[in-house]
Structure 1
Amino acid sequence: MSVFDPRIDKHLIADQGEYVVDEVRKHWAATVSAVLELLGGFVVFLLAFVLPAQVWWLPTLLGAGIGLHALWRIFEQRMDRFVITNMRVFRVHGILSQRIATMPLARILDISVYKPFVGRIFGYGHFVFESAAQEQGLREIRYVGDPDTRGLTIQRVIAQAGLRGAAGRGDPNALPSPVQPPPQAVPQPQPATQPQPATVTVTPYDEGRATAPVPGIERGGSQTGWDWLADAQRREDERLAQLRGEPAAGAAPFDPDRTNTAPIDLPR
C-alpha cells in the first residue's frame, strides 16, 4: 500500500452494491507551485555554505522550513481524491486529519467544466457542481485530468441511475435500459349495430290545434284594460267545463289572481 493511498475502498457501501466508477487524482499541474517552492527552499539552504559562519544557521532553518512546507503541499495534493461511484460522488482529502464530503447523484443539478488556457494545453480543468452541497467541499474540484471524459462519465452515471430507479442494484457492466415508448391504446371491438341517437322533431305551433284557445285581440276593439284577460279566462273556463261534461257556468266576475275572498265552508 502506497503512502499516498487514502484507502477509498473502506468508504464504499459494499453491502448495497456500491462500486467505484472512476477515481480522480489531481493532475500533476496541481503540484507545480509546491515543487518550485521546494526548489526555492533548497536554494536558500545552500546559502548556508556561502554566508559567514556566524549566520549559517539562519539560511539552514529557513530553507528547511520552506522545504517542509513544500513537501506538505505535495502530500496534500496527492492525498486529495475525487471518487465517482454508481450511487454518489465523494471527496477524500487530508493527511493527518482526513475529511470526507459526499453527495448523492440525485442532488447534482448541473456540472460546469472550466478549462483555462494553460489547462487546455496540458489537459486539465476544473469541475464546478451546482447543487445543494456547495458548502461541503464538493462545489469545486480543481486540477482534474481529462475533464471532458470525466464529465461525460458523471453524466452517464447520473443518467443510468435515473433510468434504473435505484442506483447500485444492477450489474456493473450492464447497459442502461432504453426508455420505453408510452403504451398505445388498444382499440375496443365495436358491436355490429350501434343505436342511433333519437331524432327530435320540432313541430311548428298550430294555433287551431291548441288545447286552450289563445284569445285574439282585434285592433281598434272596444276591449280595454283587463277586458281581454277576462275574456280569455272565461273561454278557458268554458273549455274546461266542456271537457268535464259540466254545464257552462254563468259569467263570473273577473279575478286576475284567481283568488276568491269568499269564506270557505269547511266541514265541522
Structure 2
Amino acid sequence: MNGFLLINKPPGITSFEVVRRVKKLSKEKKVGHMGTLDPRACGLLIIGLGKYVRLEEYLLKLPKTYIVEVLFGVSSDTYDRESYRFFYDKEEKPVNTEILEETLKKYFTGEIEQTPPPYSAVHIEGERAYNLARKNISVSLPKRKVTIYESEILNFDKTRNTALIRFKVSSGTYIRSLVHDIGEKLNTKTLVSFLVRTDIGHLSVNDSIPYNKIKEGITKKLLSPLEVLDFPVYKTSEEEEKKILNGNAIEARLSTIESPYISIINSQGRFIAVGKVSGNIIKPDKVFPQNEV
C-alpha cells in the first residue's frame, strides 16, 4: 500500500501513536510521519505509507502555518502547559495588541536565530534533549536560523491575558521557543496555551481526516506523490523513462524550470521519480520503479 494520508491529529497523543495506528489498520510495514507535532498540539500531520515514506525529506522542508494561543504572565520549563513547574510574573506587565504587533515586526520577521526548547527531540551526544531535561541535566542547545514568513494577531483577550497569533514559518521552527522569546522581548513570561498546525506547504488541515476515521481514509483518501509534493511535473518519453529509472540524467525539453525539484511521470502518467534540476539537466534524485513494493 503506497500513498499519503492527511490526518487531523487531536491533542493528547504523540505523532508516533498516529503512525502506529495507521500501521495497524493498514497492515503496511513501512509507515512514517512527515514532520512531528508535539503531544499537546493538534492539526495537520502527513503520514506516508509504503515506498513513498522515502519522500520524507522533501515534505520536511515545506513551510508550515500554525495558530498559537499565547498565555502571558506565566511560563514553564517546557514552554507550554505540559509541565509540572510553572513560573509567574510578580507583577502585571503592560502588554496589548499594539505593543505585541510592534514586537513581532521588529524582532520576529524574516530570518531569526532561536534555541530549541530544553524539552525537545534535538539530539545531544546521542540522547534526546527531553531525556536529559527530565534527568535535570543542563545542556547548551545550539542555536539555529529559521524564517518567520508571516505573523498575524488574530485576537487579543485582555481578560484572559492571551493572544491568538497565526505564524507561517520555515521548517525546523519551534513555536514554543518563538513564544518564549517573544515573552523575553516583552519582559514578561509566556507559554504556549494551545497550538494547531493548519498548513504544510499547500496542504491544509481542512483536507485532512479525523483521527477516528483513519481506517476509512486508508481505503478512500490516500493521496499520490503528485498531490502531496506540489513540484512542477515533467512527462518523459519512453527513452527518457528508461534513463531515469536507470539513474541517468536527461536533458529537459523545456526552456526553463525554476523549481530545484520536479515530479517525473512516464508517458502513462505514472509517478516514477523526483528529479533534481540544474539548468536544463534533470538528474533523478529518488527513483520509484514499477515493480518496487
> What TM-score range do you get, normalising by the shorter chain?
under 0.3
Instruction: Pick the structure with more helix per residue.
Output: 1
Structure whose CA Rg is larger: 1
TM-score, normalised relative to structure 1: 0.21
Q: Which has the higher contact order (CA 8 A, sep 6+)?
A: 2
